[in-house]
Structure 1
Amino acid sequence: MYVCVCKAVSHKHIHRAVNEGAVSLRDLKNLTGLGTCCGKCVPDARRTLTEATARRAAAEQPLFSAPGLIAA
């Protein structure tokens, strides 16, 4: 689904940008142009950015940690 119709930016684009290192709305604007025309997309873009950032952080967490093991 499109988040920014003006620049044709979808939820997938935002998730991909986060996976490539975007961490802020400014990063998304620089990468995609999102929010630079009418601005109606900004609230939904913020929600999607928060969701994508949380998913990325959860994916980077180890599944378990055993006592006495040191991560390399």
Structure 2
Amino acid sequence: MYVCICHAVTEAQVRQAVSEGATDVKTLKRKLGVGSECGRCIQTTLEVIQSQLEIEPNYYEVA
């Protein structure tokens, strides 16, 4: 599924970026371009981020 049509960013790409540590929209905007054109993808991007963090919760805990 496409998350960001403007930059052809898929859900899989967002999940991969989150797995690599991009856990907020600002970072994903720099890395993938999501939310930098029309902004309609921001809510979906936030949902994908949250979903991925639920799958990998311990990975992101602060020491």
TM over 0.5: yes
Q: Structure 2: give runs of 5+ residues left out of the alignment.
A: none
5+ residue gaps, structure 1: 61-72
- 1:47 is matched with 47
- Structure 1-normalised TM-score? 0.76
Aligned residues: 59
Higher helix share: 2
- What residue is the counterpart of 1:31 in the other structure? 31
Displaced runs of 4 or more, over 2 A = none
CA distance in 1, matches of 2:45, 2:19: 15
Q: Radius of gyration: which is bigger?
A: 1
RMSD: 1.1
TM-score of the superposed pair, with normalisation by structure 2: 0.86
